[in-house]
Chain A
Amino acid sequence: MGKMSVDLCGITLDNPVIPASGTFGYGYEFAELYDINILGTFSFKGTTKDPRFGNPTPRIAECTAGMINAVGLQNPGVEKVISEELPKMRKVFRKKVMANVSGFSIEDYAYTCEKLDKCEEVGWLEVNVSCPNVHGGGMSFGTSPEAAAEVTKAVKKVTTKPVIIKLSPNVTDIVSIAKACEEAGADGISLINTLLGMRIDLKTKKPVIANKMGGFSGSAIFPVAVRMVYQVANAVNIPVVGMGGVSKAEDVIELMLAGATAVEIGAQNLIDPFCARDIINDLPMVMEKYGINSLSDIIGGAK
């Protein structure tokens, strides 16, 4: 294992850097810019059982040090993802990829995961029980330990691949939900998804986003991510993938010290398309600066 490599649920990553779902498409827009095989892996666009157009526009609003999105899980549906997107992705990315899955019922989750389980290029299933954008959707699963556990159990039944449950920060007790997922058989936890937010346009005096509310992300939310990763990593015995406002190599190390085995990068990809590459390039220098010999040694190092 190299100095930057980590083990995520039995699969070795060359480095812990993972572009987050919804900010990296299926990789090929970024593959035009640099060889994306330098990434640890990436989590592709959230996939649902049926095709979805998502929410009306505007779907995007700016905030101080961040943004709100209410895309609403636009995707072509799992059948087309497998038949059209994954073959295209395969041409530009040779490593195991993380498949991100959303659903509106237990059956939806199981259906989509069972299909993706058959895909050789998929290494992990990242099950989003937390997307705050869809009315009556993912939110309800991620806000209750029982519902999150039920999704976990249903998904575990249909796949042999590692299942990582992606949690919402919009809850009162993140630890109880993470623990419930672990007890239900989850192989890992990823967090944090976006924080529910809203902006109002002073000129029109109406919400900026057509859906009114959306998910707040970007560097402003980083301290919330550090806190929640720390709380969860200290409560469970399965790997935690940390994310939320990561924009530089130092942030990756900070989240790993908080307990993350690997780190996802979200909104920063949208404003700086080279950031994942630059973070990977910067990591050795930053490790040396802080006297870190191996990244896998520092996981959960902050007590």
Chain B
Amino acid sequence: MKNQSITNNIDWISIIIYVSLVILGWLNIYSSSLSSMEDTHEKQLIFIILTIPLIFIVLSVDGKFYEKYASIIFGISLLTLAGLFLFGKTIAGQRCWYAIGSFTIQPSEFAKAATALALAKYLSDTQINLKEVNRQVQALAIILLPVILILPQPDPGSALIYSIFIIVLYREGLPSWYVWTGFITILLFVLTLILEPQYVILIALVTLILVHLKSRLADRNIVLSSILLVVISGFVLSVNYVFENVFKQHHRDRFNILLGKTVDLKGIGYNTNQSEIAIGSGGWFGKGFLEGTQTKGGFVPEQHTDYIFTTVGEEWGFVGSLVVIALFAGLFLRIIYLAERQKTKFSRVYGYCVAGVLFTHFFVNIAMVVGIFPTIGVPLPFFSYGGSGLWGFTILLFIFIKMDANKVNEW
């Protein structure tokens, strides 16, 4: 009787994609584990099996529960993050794990779902208008709280993910200049690293003049344009300063490799180079399951975690990579589609957060693996080895699936 209600109105498309990704992920972990002599594939299989009761619990909980207890869940999550400073276990210089016996658990993987819930809860109040500055500050505070706790662990990869919540806020009414500012900032930053600062300023000047001439007379604002130019120039000039003085050497290296300025294939450039070689050697159809020479030779570091996609690229080729990417993109778009048809603002915002968080992980991870993004530790959802990650993403996704299934009851 209860079982039936769990599967009622459930979105099977999302579930099928989810299951496919988890299975494909495990196959690739299996392949990559053959070189490492470790039993990562066995452990991952246990993690996968343990997701079944997890999903069962998530789906069994009453749909209203998440909205009602969102703040509490968020609070607990923040506490677990803060607790790391006292009880955390340091692995590879990062203090982001709790050790329970031989198992370790990474609370930041669960904090994303909690933050998404908190943000959804905050925005679900119909009184909230994101055009107001103090609302904007409050919303941003929700996002920044976990970021502040995560950054010093240090775990810049996990922190980076939270930037996608800006897009969610924009969906819910945040003024568009936030997004534009962010976009232009990134653009200017990258441009300044590639070109000399004076050229970037020149480009900005020309662009501003063109915009100025193109816009209607009434909209022309010479003062604003000038201020913009000064701000941009200041930013551009400070980028070099920040890059050379604030960034640490290994951060600089990561950018330099990406820009092709440093070619040190044995040292810092090794990961990206090996990763590109492994993927590039796959060709159209790949070398076949368990036949990847780079995978077998263990050339790609962290292959079963952050670099798991190299196995896909090498053994399944372009076709296989395309299938995996299509599955992910399909899942994201499906979630957005489902989110848009939610009846409550709470579940819509939450759905958006789910799609955004998963997408950011996916993009940052694969972009890094294929060498178009600096090296940054972000797992590929459902694929990368690790219990915390898998469970975190599973919970994140299935809370939304539960909400989506629940909407009929609400009606």
Do A and B originate from a single complex? no
Listed in ascending order, the chain B residues whose CB lies under 8 Å from chain A are none
Listed in ascending order, the chain A residues whose CB lies under 8 Å from chain B are none
